[in-house]
Amino acid sequence: MNEAVFSGTAFVRGEAAGEVISSDVELSFWGGVDPVTGEVIDRHHPLSGRILTGKILAIPGGRGSCSGSGVILELLLNGKGPAAMVVERADDILTLGVVIAEEVFGQSIPVVILDPKDFRRVRAARHARVDGARVACAERPEDLGALSGDRGPAAPPASRMELTQADRAFLDGAHGKAAQVAMNIVLRMAELQGADRLIDVTQAHIDGCIYTGPGSLRFAQRLRDWGGRVVVPTTLNSISVDHRRWRAQGIDPAFGEPASQLGDAYVDMGARPTFTCAPYLLDSAPARGEQIVWAESNAVVYANSVLGARTMKYPDYLDICIALTGRAPLAGCHVESGRRAALRIDLPALEGLDDSFYPLIGYHVGLLAANRIPVIVGLEKASPSQDDLKAFGAAFATTSSAPMFHIVGVTPEAATVEEATGGTAVPALDVGIEDLARSWSELDNAQDASVDLVSLGNPHFSVRECETLAALCRGRVKHKDVTLVVTCGRATYDRAREAGILAELERFGVQIVTDTCWCMIIEPVIPPHARTIMTNSGKYAHYGPGLTGRRFHFGSLEDCVAAAATGIADGRRPSWLQAQ
């Protein structure tokens, strides 16, 4: 038989066989895979258009949104998921969705990590069989013999952990079933992360309130009905609808009702109805060195990189489990060694930068970094604003699985390259104008110059961005056939309204949507007739084509306002992107 057999580490045990579907590019399940059909919808990914259902999925790991775990849960509960996942490195987001399906709903698939060399052999094969921690691959299914791998249950998570008496009380059910299940899930993920003990956290931000399908609602309601209550101050991410106005916006109740109920379930467990993907704009934003549990990829990256707080890139559902117990694994960015840069990226000398530079460079750096924390050199004199760093971090978190970045002379833990790397020599990459031009073409890919919708606020707009937008709109008239929508959090909305900014924006024709964000917005907020969307968000320019089926233009905020006034994207690239 032409068969090769490899042994790895099984983070979720089981048995499966099938055709291999593989890529050497990481995949974000949120915005990258349709939870209803199992199709890869990330139009920038090599697997675009492929169906994962029943396949042995071999990818290096995940990337992008923390909500990927929610999509995996939906796929498994509706029978559209892969038969197994074989990866090159431990991945919280990919694994957690399977762990939740197993712990709460009794369904799972195998998840096995292989040595990179063995992983490449499996990725190149046409068929594979997974059994416990062993993976066999061959060109023909009939060449796969029966494996005899260890399919027994893994050792209890607590057996290799240093637990306090309070931890054991949670695990023994002293605080109710929801907290007991939550602690068991926390400990399973701590094993994956290599932690040997847990730490206290001061606050949580929940991303699992995004409605990915019936499974996300069932999970939250089950925890609530089991008596779940958060034990640390907890904020909520954007939900999938404007909680107060979705009916008036014409959202189909078949979607609006469960999406709204999901937010309610988390509020019932004691979370604040902040409903923003930019919790760093709230008064409760953490201080440098504060140990927190935040999910939502852009928020995690901003908290670690810009605020200097400490959180891992927590997947959806692990966030609420930690909020219910107040305990998180001591691993990753919670410890000093997990925050060091492993890659240096040198940028070209550029002048006259506008706000489109930061989402573009974040997007490009994320592609280069993959799962490595980068330190960026070349922006020491650029003085990026907090909004610039917000845009950079969101785009970076879209194409990278790394939980943070450093920018020399800008972010708090990178006064020098040596400080960011801990004095260790790391690989270096140079970025040229031609590299950035290629990434611009990926984001700005619409062939038709016309613009039907201008999308702003991914991540949520700040008050300062509202002020800038109002200044750009002043003295102009919006084109009658163009819709311009801004998303922001409730706190920002209230401050901008009190300052009179909203009234000025509304006179121009800007529509303000709160509580939700562009990665969840559907028709009719996106006008059904709209075929081309323009945005200043690198994150939405990446995810949008797959999520909406529309073509996208990308540009600065000023470019977006010009398109709203004329109905045309002029296609001119910024001066700093021209050949030097």
DSSP H/E element including 439: helix 433-443
Residue 41 corresponds to which tokens in the numbers above? 């919808």
Q: Check: CB of residue 35 under 8 Å from CB of residue 71.
A: yes
* Strands 84-87, 111-113: pairing kind: parallel
Task: Tell the residue number behind the tokens 């020599």, with chain if given.
Answer: 425
Distance CA 467, CA 456 (A): 13
Q: Does the annotation count 65 as an active-site position?
A: yes
Helix, strand or coil, per DSSP, at residue 296: coil
User: What span, in angstroms and rounded, lies between the C-alpha atoms of 395 and 369?
Assistant: 12
CA nearest 355: which of 489, 535, 542?
535
Active-site pick, 22, 23, 28, 65 = 65
Cis peptide bond prior to 524, omega within 30° of 0: yes
What are the Cα distances from residue 482, in Å, to 360, 477, 528? 25, 11, 12
* SS3 label, residue 98: helix
Q: Using CA atoms, how far apart are residues 416 and 419, in angstroms rounded to an integer? A: 5
How many residues would you count in the chain?
580
The tokens describing 145, both together, are 């013999």
Amino acid at 243: H
Q: Is 16 exposed, middle or buried, given 0-12, 13-18 or 19+ CB atoms closer than 10 A?
A: buried
Report the C-alpha gap between 431 and 354 in whole angstroms. Answer: 18
Q: What is the 8-class DSSP label of residue 338? A: G
d(CA 320, CA 267): 12
| Cα distance between residue 539 and residue 558, in whole Å | 18
Burial of residue 239, with CB atoms counted within 10 A of its CB: 0-12 exposed, 13-18 middle, 19 or more buried: buried
Strands across the sheet containing 56-59: 3-7, 134-138, 127-131, 15-22, 56-59, 84-87, 111-113, 9-12
Strand order in the sheet with 428-430: 406-407, 374-377, 343-346, 428-430
Structure tokens at 242: 């404007």
Q: Is the dihedral of CA 504, 505, 511, 517 positive or negative?
A: negative
Supply the DSSP symbol for 303: I
Q: Please name the amino acid found at residue 337.
A: S
Q: Which residues are catalytic?
A: 65
